[in-house]
Structure 1
């Protein structure tokens, strides 16, 4: 019987590089939803690596994933595999009905709104509101007031959570910060950026290159999708018909899936999640396309809630011959759905057509080279109000020597750096099975 890691994303790779345990990965390559891929105009076949002439677009399966966080050990190890470029975030809320851009977070930049609207919003922000804050919708309305909720928070979170916002607990408070002093200052002038990702980094060669490099320090078996876990006989079963006996598992597979595969009965309804269709687009920018890295969109006719611009962050996302062409752009759009409600190919095609049409109406997009949709089954995880399902599920799995890890394994928001750091810490916790590329001292990595 062996010890294994399930999933070759950031957490699994980091743990595997320390422990030397075999990693079983369901897909053809490492990285999970952060995987990069390449497409050439006129072709439909995705490639994991860049063409020799670099005349292709680079996209990511789950849309743009940027690295924020200050965990020194994780960043040190990541930097051994790829140089990192640093960026100052530029993101905005875009209000299509007003054709208005307001820097993120909107509550800190009221001076961009019409004066009367801004004054009403400020009054409510400073006054606050008494009452229960059990759900996300309660918390947003009590914290930010009806003016900003009607303008942005309500329609955005309704779209972002696929309608779950009235039934789930508040979470990710760092994404919607409340700072009274900054709110007051921002009503009368421009202020500094705020939020959890003011500064971020990105690997020079892309995330795919980073993860492939880390994977070289690991023992990874690809195309090994786990379909069942027998916790009594300690057997892992795979989609290819094979199986293997195990002693202990580190699983980065989504928590709900691991519970199902292990046949556990958690006496509480599972917490919800949302799936996402990501539409990756390459082409020519329209005359009103912003230079933001990404936009939060409260309402769109097509139904998307966010637009990101890969090439506004890094021109290497573009074909080599077009990187100096200011009009060339690559971007992504996100559409959230209730967990597992996968749209049909026809529905996805219609969504892509609508997205391109709407972006052209907004003058964000002109000519189109590539439109390529991807499907992320478990994209965002949530908790029902008052739920203890997550804690119960993690505990029940731990009792049978399955240790959940990572963003989806532990059903919590965390970025790439946090996930990498967690994997390194797991390596320290479970010890060394072989000579590893990174040595752990009592104070951390050396």
Structure 2
């Protein structure tokens, strides 16, 4: 402590999500003598936390799964959670789009063979038209909408890409750039699409997460609590809410009156929030985000959806854009089969019968829904009472229940034994047209004051906002602070997100014995 009562640390990390924990892990690995990790929540996890309902159903803050571009990430998680079948489920991604009362395999653009003939013709003719037009197009697409039209044509654009992406991002595709796409969106192989239609072939499995793993217990949040346990508890401080920054004096002020002076600050606070604190509202206004509503229902009975993992919903007959069959990921995402629970309401929101309302055993399954919100896409949040003893919830929860019936995810007579809702103000960092111009100015400006703003919302780069990316943003940030090395993930997303049949992963020597122990900057190799 300084004589003035201001605490001093070498590196202050604000936020204990994957980025903050990655930075803390790296500092601990290197034996740095002075660092502190703080978070306003009571435990680690950030936006990758997991909530548990009173009935014992687990819900992540969105459809998080573990797949990785980095050996460092893989080994850290194995060290924290454990290895193999004793700690993880390994699952094949089984994903579909619900459209016109049928399931279309993901990615949609490879599986138009599942559509009726009229839609097949619209989509195929549009794909051919797009291929011809793209050969003579001048320059790169001006926005995401133009990219869709150049790559997929009007048929796929109007049937799926435009409505679905508006439901996800809560902004029109014309207001988004296309540099973020990388491996996030499958393009169209025209010959393959035509062949699939002719042969009536389902063509799934595209993408980096075709195989993923999920912890046997604790949900995604359990992973990050386990990572935090690898770190010295005296270097972690929870329930500490940052309320102000003095960038010139390099002092962080917390809600309880504590002040911490730092040599370097790693902030995972949303960049727009930081910029407003520091008197740069114009830059903050140039960043856009959507909010997320996470809604969950625990249901009595056996899941009727087989091996389906997550599902996409572009139409306006439901408020959600994506649904995860969360009970499929791990048995312990639901209460034990012999747990006796009453029915709160029926799937259509009505009262249960007296017999159904009585506490009875399972088995149980669960669905997790995601609904986006923005100024362009408001969400109904007035309180509405559900039937039975389910209680009062925002109207979007009732809309989601009814939407689940409209999309055949649930039947009206299904017994809902648990209801969950949480709104995240910062859900998705939007790759808006003006984003990169702000980042080009704001991040170096903060860096001059020894502030490294990193993470899903600290850096505002959705293209490197998965859990593996986010952790490595923290790790690389520490290497930049201590060694001056380049932050590859932040600066070169296209390098760390390879689209071809090779992987580029961070490595270092020696292999981790419990805690990572290399004292050298990380290197990169192709496998």
Answer yes or no: same fold by TM over 0.5: yes
Residue 400 of structure 1 is matched in structure 2 by 449
Q: Is the 8 A contact 1:73 1:444 kept in 2?
A: no
Structure 1 residue corresponding to 2:417, chosen from 360, 365, 369:
369
SS of aligned partner of 1:149: helix
Is 1:303 aligned with 2:319? yes
Displacement of 1:301 = 3.3
Residue 59 of structure 2 is matched in structure 1 by 59
The whole-number CA distance in structure 2 between the counterparts of 1:317 and 1:68 is 19
The whole-number CA distance in structure 2 between the counterparts of 1:186 and 1:34 is 38
| 1:79-108 deviation digits (Å, cap 9, x = unpaired) | 00113332211111111xx21110111011
SS of aligned partner of 1:271: coil
Is 1:334 aligned with 2:370? yes
Is 1:424 aligned with 2:506? no
Q: Is the 8 A contact 1:251 1:402 kept in 2?
A: yes
Question: Which residues of structure 2 form unaligned runs of 5+?
Answer: 1-7, 29-34, 83-87, 340-360, 385-392, 484-513
The whole-number CA distance in structure 2 between the counterparts of 1:427 and 1:399 is 16
SS of aligned partner of 1:200: strand
The whole-number CA distance in structure 2 between the counterparts of 1:267 and 1:38 is 37
The whole-number CA distance in structure 1 between the counterparts of 2:395 and 2:434 is 38
Task: Summarize the Cα distance change of 1:156–1:311 in structure 2 as closer, same or farther, 3 Å threshold.
Answer: same
Structure 2 residue corresponding to 1:35, chosen from 49, 64, 67:
49
Is 1:250 aligned with 2:254? no
Task: Summarize the Cα distance change of 1:104–1:285 in structure 2 as closer, same or farther, 3 Å threshold.
Answer: farther
Q: Is the 8 A contact 2:380 2:395 kept in 1?
A: no
**TM (normalized to structure 2)?**
0.74
Q: Which moved more, 1:286-295 or 1:408-417?
A: 286-295
SS of aligned partner of 1:406: coil
Structure 1 residue corresponding to 2:400, chosen from 355, 377, 382:
355
Is 1:437 aligned with 2:515? yes
Q: What is the number of residues matched between the two proteins?
A: 424
Question: Which residues of structure 1 form unaligned runs of 5+?
Answer: 42-55
The whole-number CA distance in structure 1 between the counterparts of 2:16 and 2:517 is 20
Structure 1 residue corresponding to 2:40, chosen from 26, 44, 51:
26
| 1:135-173 deviation digits (Å, cap 9, x = unpaired) | 222222232111112211111112212134221212334
The whole-number CA distance in structure 2 between the counterparts of 1:383 and 1:297 is 21
Task: Summarize the Cα distance change of 1:209–1:287 in structure 2 as closer, same or farther, 3 Å threshold.
Answer: closer
The whole-number CA distance in structure 1 between the counterparts of 2:118 and 2:283 is 51
Q: Is the 8 A contact 1:266 1:389 kept in 2?
A: no
**TM (normalized to structure 1)?**
0.87
SS of aligned partner of 1:260: helix
Matches within 5 A, 1:182-201: 182-187=192-197, 188=199, 189-201=201-213
Residue 168 of structure 1 is matched in structure 2 by 176
Residue 50 of structure 1 is matched in structure 2 by none
Is 1:215 aligned with 2:228? yes
Displacement of 1:113 = 1.1
Instruction: Spell out structure 1 runs of 4+ moving beyond 6 A.
Output: 285-288, 339-343
| 1:198-218 deviation digits (Å, cap 9, x = unpaired) | 111122333222212211214
Displacement of 1:345 = 5.4
Task: Summarize the Cα distance change of 1:264–1:401 in structure 2 as closer, same or farther, 3 Å threshold.
Answer: farther
The whole-number CA distance in structure 2 between the counterparts of 1:312 and 1:214 is 24
Task: Summarize the Cα distance change of 1:343–1:397 in structure 2 as closer, same or farther, 3 Å threshold.
Answer: farther
Is 1:85 aligned with 2:95? no
Task: Summarize the Cα distance change of 1:285–1:153 in structure 2 as closer, same or farther, 3 Å threshold.
Answer: farther
Displacement of 1:384 = 3.1
Matches within 5 A, 1:53-202: 56-60=56-60, 62-83=61-82, 84-95=88-99, 98-128=100-130, 129-130=133-134, 133-170=141-178, 171-180=180-189, 181-187=191-197, 188=199, 189-202=201-214
Structure 2 residue corresponding to 1:409, chosen from 454, 458, 471:
458
Displacement of 1:326 = 9.4
Q: Is the 8 A contact 2:41 2:240 kept in 1?
A: yes
Residue 383 of structure 2 is matched in structure 1 by 346
The whole-number CA distance in structure 1 between the counterparts of 2:308 and 2:202 is 17
The whole-number CA distance in structure 2 between the counterparts of 1:136 and 1:231 is 36
Q: Which has the higher contact order (CA 8 A, sep 6+)?
A: 1
| 1:388-415 deviation digits (Å, cap 9, x = unpaired) | 0122111111111101221211101221
